Structure formats: C-alpha cells, structure tokens
Amino acid sequence: MHLDRYAVIGNPIAHSKSPRIHALYAAQTAQALSYEALLGPIGGFADCVDAFRAAGGRGMNVTVPFKLDAYAYATRLTARAEAAGAVNTLAFTGDEVLGDNTDGAGILQDITVNLGCPVASKRVLLLGAGGAARGTVLPLLDARPASVFIANRTAAKAADLRALAERFGQPGSNITLQAGGLAELAGQQFDVVINATSASLSDAAPDLPAGLYAPGALAYDMMYGKGDTPFMQAARAQGAARLSDGLGMLVEQAAESFALWRGVRPDTAPVLAELRAALQG
C-alpha cells in the first residue's frame, strides 16, 4: 500500500514525541501515512528538505533550531506564520511550499478547550518575547481577551513584540496591549499567565512580583516535564489557582498540522492521555 510521507525535522530530534503523536492520529483517522524523525544538519536545512520532497515527502513539522529556516524556505505563508516570523509546519504541493505556524493555535486550544479556561474578556499576561511568545500573539488576540500584557526580562524586546501585535492584530479591536519589564508588573492582576520564556530550560522561573494571580487564575507553562516545571512551582507558591504544563499544546499543535495536511481533525484527548501516562510512568 502507498503511504504518504511526513516527517519532523530538528536537531536534536531523537526524543521528539511527534512521530508517536502522528502515528496515533493516523491510526485513529484511518489515514495511510508514514511519519519519521529527521536529524537536520546544522546549516543544511534546505538540502535536507529538498531531498525529502524529491523522495515524495508531503509535509513536515519543524522544530528547534530550524523554524526560521522553514520560514525562509516556504514559498507561501499563512497570516499566523507571517506574524510569528517562524514556521513549524510545511505542506508540499508541486512546486509550492506552504509555511504555517500551529503553535499559537495549539496553546489556545489547550487553554480554552482542554482546560476549559476561556480567554475572551480575560486579563492575560504573556511572559517572554522570543520565538515562543511571538508565535502566540496573533492567536491570543484572535481569542479576544480584555487585555494582554507582554512582559519580558529585557523590556525593550517586549515593546518590540507589542508593536508587532499592534501591526498584525485586528484593526479596531479594543484589546488593551501593554508591554514592559518584569518589575513593571507589580500591582497588576491577571486571569491567565502564560510562560513563553525558556527559563525552565535552565531550571529557573522568571522573577515575578508577588500578587499577580487573580482569584481562579491559570498559570500555563509552554514547557513540560515529568513533574511541575519551575514556573509551575513558583506559580503555586504565589497562589495561582490552576496550573498546567505545555504537553497539551504539543498535542494540539500536532493536531492542527495534521488537519492542514489531511483535511481531518483527530481527537486529541486519548493521545494527550497516553502521552501524559508515558511521561509520568
């Protein structure tokens, strides 16, 4: 039987959960496809993707450190990829290479549907101003929060991201957009706090003033691991009512990519449950 080929490319790639996730989605939706992990050579992204396409590849997920290379490789970009300045999903049709970014849609789906925490009319704090934060801005604004405060250790980068949000956000929207350094958060309260910094990678959490969490607030870390991340531990200590890591975001961004490629949306709940059990086992 002919199988349509897909892959995730990154470096390193050995521990990627994407092949497992997409195999589960393919089985669940009865789609005849294969999905492999490709170790992309640093500096050799385009050659590697060229070879995959020449061998019949239909699409790819792209992870660290190639999301900017994928952005440059695409011949057409979705609006959310354009706003993110980065691509995590490629779809190949003839000579056309569509570049999309499903990360932001993934986190919003996880927060609003899986966690049942609506963002509309809420006060949202987005921590960080790097690639992960940038990928979240447009889908976040589309969810119509009352306000978004972009806070970053380096305040100037937060201001740059706010300018970008203003450029790409819906004209005429009355969402309040603020930006600043972490200390400028003192005295403010938020309903949803999203950690899009990479602090957890160095086993740290952003240095936040006390009292940020409104009653019932959700603290969401894009990172995940076996137990609570440093950000989740700090948020618990500061009184956040609800905590989540980013495993659901991973599963949801994959579902969004799968839907783009195959035109069918998988049920993410059983896949998230399996990954959660494997992570804790």
**Footprint of ligand ATR on this chain (CB under 6 A)?**
128-133, 152-154, 157, 197-199, 204, 206
Q: Nearest approach, Cβ of 124 to ligand ATR (angstroms)?
A: 16
Rank residues 144 and 153 by Cβ distance to ligand ATR and give the closer one: 153
- What is the residue type of 87? V
Q: Nearest approach, Cβ of 236 to ligand ATR (angstroms)?
A: 18
Which class for 68: exposed (0-12), middle (13-18), buried (19 or more C-beta within 10 A)?
A: middle
Q: Nearest approach, Cβ of 279 to ligand ATR (angstroms)?
A: 20
User: Do 102 and 21 form a contact (C-beta atoms < 8 A)?
Assistant: no
For residue 110, the tally of other CB atoms under 10 A from its CB is 25
CA distance 106 to 165: 18
- What is the residue type of 133? A
User: Do 60 and 90 form a contact (C-beta atoms < 8 A)?
Assistant: yes
Closest CA to 256 of 40, 84, 46: 84
Rank residues 78 and 152 by Cβ distance to ligand ATR and give the closer one: 152
Rank residues 146 and 159 by Cβ distance to ligand ATR and give the closer one: 159
Rank residues 97 and 223 by Cβ distance to ligand ATR and give the closer one: 223
Q: Nearest approach, Cβ of 199 to ligand ATR (angstroms)?
A: 3
Residues 6+ apart with CB under 8 A from 237: none
CA distance 190 to 219: 10
E-state strands within 32-183: 33-39, 57-62, 76-77, 89-93, 96-100, 123-127, 147-151, 176-180
CA distance 115 to 214: 17
Residue 17 annotated as catalytic: no
Q: Nearest approach, Cβ of 265 to ligand ATR (angstroms)?
A: 27
Helices (H) then strands (E): counts for the chain: 10, 12
What does the DSSP 8-state code read for residue 110? I
Rank residues 153 and 276 by Cβ distance to ligand ATR and give the closer one: 153
**Which listed residue (17, 67, 122, 157) is catalytic?**
67
Rank residues 128 and 266 by Cβ distance to ligand ATR and give the closer one: 128
Q: Nearest approach, Cβ of 56 to ligand ATR (angstroms)?
A: 31
User: What residues act catalytically?
Assistant: 67
